[in-house]
Amino acid sequence: MIATIGAGLHVSGVSAGFTRLLGHAPIQARGRRLDELLRGPDTDEPSLQALCAAIASGQEWQTVLLIHTAHGAARWMAVSASALRGDGGAAPHSVVVLDEVTHVGDHAALQHLVLDAMAQGAPLHDAARLLCREMEQAVPGCTAVLLARDAQGRLRIVAAPSLPPALESLVDGHAGGARCGCCTAATTGQAVRAADIASDPRWDAVGGAFVAHGLQACHAYPVASREGAVLGVFALYCPETLDTDGWHGQLANAGLRLCTLLLEREHERARIHQLAYYDGLTGLANRSMLNAQAARMLHEAQRSGAALALVFIDLDHFKQVNDTHGHLAGDALLRAVAARLQDSARASDLAARLGGDEFVLLLTRCDARQAALAAERLLNAFSRPVSLPQATLQPRASMGIALFPDDGADADTLLHCADLAMYQAKTAGGQCWRFHNAAMNDQARRLSLLEADLRQALAAGGLALHYQPQMQGGGLHGVEALLRWQHPTLGAIAPERLTRTADECGLRAELTRWVVGEACRQMADWRARGVAVPRVSVNLQGADLHEPELMQWLTQPLGAHGLQTADLAVEIAEDVLCSSDPVVLNSAHALRRHGIALALDSFGTGCCNLGTLHLLPVDELKLDGGFVRDIETSATARALIRAMLHIAHGLGLPLVAEGVETRAQQQFLRAHGCALAQGHLLSPPLSAPALERLLREAGTAAPQVSVPKTT
């Protein structure tokens, strides 16, 4: 391609090749300044000015310059300028020869830069970003993207330095498919070329967004390993399609080869890391990873003051499995146990295999009670049958638990202590766990046994509700449902211990649902048989009010038993409802909206801000029994009761006095306007049949019934 240049850098003529490649017809080019013809938005301005200065002064000049065609396309050109001198030595004209760059070192330079970064140990993202930047400089207006497949087979962005943020989510995270743009290359294993994204069906879902950012065309190439597996996708988005048969194609191929090297190196790194730090059979962390991670986790625990537990696990009679069923069966059993161990671990915990049939679980922020519960759950998980082609195996395990900092301050000491405790479990017959500390063993064992018994009681109907009447004058106002558990060997379990055990064992929600369901079932039975119980109230804990499904817990059994919401009331302690917790308040207002009455329990214990009491969605107050107990002996108690009765009357709320046990207490309360009472003087909590007998005997005119006291 040739152009002749006259005075003032004006073009005097161009060759046919110049017109064919750059799009400037002779009539259009003549008379225009050379720099105007060649300049574009990405042109290196100092290099262009140096060329023009050389031509103006009649000097020889050579350079490589990015120029733009009449249609705006960018082209790298090797430009040389020579003077055409006349007879007198003057140089009134110059000739400029332009050759499209096909390989003036760009490929070699690109390869050198990326390989040098790899040799220096640059992370994948940094080396890939360098590659994309160099590609974008070589092909102005181009946006380079490298995607790699993750463990789930989805394509994730490794580098896309110039991709607008609005487009990142359109290419990141795809699993491939026929209509997912450049990601289609990963699905088909073939290069994808789209000259017009807007009309290409493979970009149906995302094409408009790319076009809006000026990216009209795309060239995407699958990045494949030597074995043929697709590792990712290398894509070039451009304002217009590239000449893939010429220099652009050569450059893209060079970039693709480098992408393959980068992703293969990363896979090799991951494989080496897997071999070095993970067990080949089970995929769990190995001893090296355990040592490294344990040091970090112990440092964090020491810094934060948090507890940490190490559970040492050894399978019982594993050698017998290998001897009887073969090593393939033994390996399958180890993999099944490892999977259950990993499923039991939290994200912050570490599950590892030491070798053979020995495993370790390192539990962060875990005290003795939590470690015992974790070990019990692991035993249950491990004991599920494992079905193999050869046989169905019933795994058993012995576990030892060591605690940081009580049993040791470093990983080796904790591992040794947990190993000793594991042998204690073996000596005890296996399929159990032991603490390194004997005192903790006893306490944790009792808790574990109680948890197992409570689960059994919930599943087999071992729990019961007793009902204590709330009397108003001569009539029944309602009954309060109170939980009872008659343990087969320990006898009656105190309600406080029962609820505490349920909370510690993760059974609180299940227990609450059982109480509500049983109370509704009993109310429906009373309704069906004409027993005149106006309503039943149940107690909720603070944690219950944080449950997203609380209203479903309450309304579902009401509907299932054909009851109205007025048939059920809930009692919430004053310190819970007045805690200013927005979740608690929202739940309380939801009760009001559903028509379920809310009683403020333990009223007067001093936690409630009386200035905001009138804002709470409360339907009833329950005077704490401690005040009632001191009526006969404390003038202060009597004064406080009068004040609280005055507050209740002022708010227009009924007040139920709890714990009424003597006639003197009852007479004082009645004299000061408290008509509602609950306590042993009237009736202790009774089973449903006993309550029915009481109501039949008392009729409607005898609210005071003498019955034996019970706990």
Give backbone dihedrals phi and psi of 85, rounded to 5 degrees, phi first.
-95, 145
Which amino acid appears at position 706 of this protein?
S
CA angle, residues 663, 666, 669, in degrees to nearest 5: 150
476 pLDDT higher than 80? yes
The residue written with tokens 């394509």 in the block is 155
In this predicted structure, which of 148-157, 289-298, 347-356, 458-467 has the lowest mean pLDDT?
148-157
In this predicted structure, what is the pLDDT of residue 700? 41
152 pLDDT higher than 70? yes
* Residues in Cβ contact with 567 at an 8 Å cutoff, skipping those fewer than 6 apart: 520, 523, 527, 535, 536, 558
The rounded distance, in Å, linking the Cα atoms of 587 and 576 is 12
Which DSSP symbol is given to 386?
A: E
Which DSSP symbol is given to 567?
A: G
In this predicted structure, what is the pLDDT of residue 105? 46
In this predicted structure, what is the pLDDT of residue 428? 81
706 pLDDT higher than 50? no
The rounded distance, in Å, linking the Cα atoms of 587 and 70 is 70
Joined tokens for residue 331: 């390996």
Q: Is the CB of residue 303 less than 8 Å from the CB of residue 295?
A: no
Of 405 and 63, the one with more pLDDT: 405
End-to-end CA distance of the chain: give it in Å, rounded. 107
In this predicted structure, what is the pLDDT of residue 359? 97
The rounded distance, in Å, linking the Cα atoms of 577 and 474 is 31
In this predicted structure, what is the pLDDT of residue 609? 61
Which DSSP symbol is given to 184?
A: H
pLDDT for 500-545, tens place per residue? 888 877 788 999 999 999 999 999 999 999 999 999 999 999 889 9
Residue 477: closest CA among 291, 693, 675: 675
In this predicted structure, which of 100-104, 351-355, 633-637 has the lowest mean pLDDT?
100-104
654 pLDDT higher than 80? yes
Q: Is 445 exposed, middle or buried (0-12, 13-18, 19+ CB in 10 A)?
A: middle
69 pLDDT higher than 60? yes
The rounded distance, in Å, linking the Cα atoms of 326 and 340 is 22
Joined tokens for residue 129: 């970003």
In this predicted structure, what is the pLDDT of residue 603? 86
Which DSSP symbol is given to 408?
A: -
In this predicted structure, what is the pLDDT of residue 104? 44
Residue 100: closest CA among 74, 136, 130: 74
The rounded distance, in Å, linking the Cα atoms of 200 and 193 is 10
In this predicted structure, what is the pLDDT of residue 246? 61
3-state secondary structure of 526: helix
The rounded distance, in Å, linking the Cα atoms of 611 and 425 is 58
Q: What stretches of 465-507 show up as alpha helix (H) in DSSP?
A: 495-504
Please name the helix (run of DSSP H) or strand (run of DSSP E) that holds residue 476, with its range, or none.
strand 475-487
3-state secondary structure of 594: coil
The rounded distance, in Å, linking the Cα atoms of 419 and 176 is 48
The rounded distance, in Å, linking the Cα atoms of 618 and 119 is 72
Give me the chain's average pLDDT, please.
Answer: 85
In this predicted structure, what is the pLDDT of residue 703? 38
- CA distances from residue 704 to 475, 630, 700 in whole angstroms, order as listed: 10, 21, 11
Joined tokens for residue 457: 């009681």
Q: What stretches of 222-326 show up as alpha helix (H) in DSSP?
A: 247-277, 287-304, 318-325
The rounded distance, in Å, linking the Cα atoms of 30 and 584 is 83
> Which range, 22-31, 192-201, 222-231, 289-298, is most confident?
289-298
> Which range, 73-87, 310-324, 691-705, is most confident?
310-324
What is the percent of the chain where pLDDT is above 70?
A: 91
pLDDT for 301-358, tens place per residue? 999 989 999 999 999 988 888 888 888 999 999 999 999 999 999 989 999 999 999 9
In this predicted structure, what is the pLDDT of residue 708? 33
The rounded distance, in Å, linking the Cα atoms of 369 and 403 is 11
DSSP 32-82: SBHHHHH--TT--HHHHHHHHHHHHTT--EEEEEEEE-TTS-EEEEEEEEE
The rounded distance, in Å, linking the Cα atoms of 14 and 312 is 85
In this predicted structure, what is the pLDDT of residue 439? 61
Q: Is the CB of residue 393 less than 8 Å from the CB of residue 386?
A: yes
pLDDT for 549-605, tens place per residue? 999 999 999 999 999 999 999 999 888 887 767 888 899 999 989 999 999 998 877
The interaxial angle of helices 287-304 and 411-427, nearest 10 deg, is: 110
The rounded distance, in Å, linking the Cα atoms of 612 and 598 is 16
481 pLDDT higher than 50? yes
Express the helix, strand and coil content of the chain in percent, nearest 5 each: 45, 25, 30
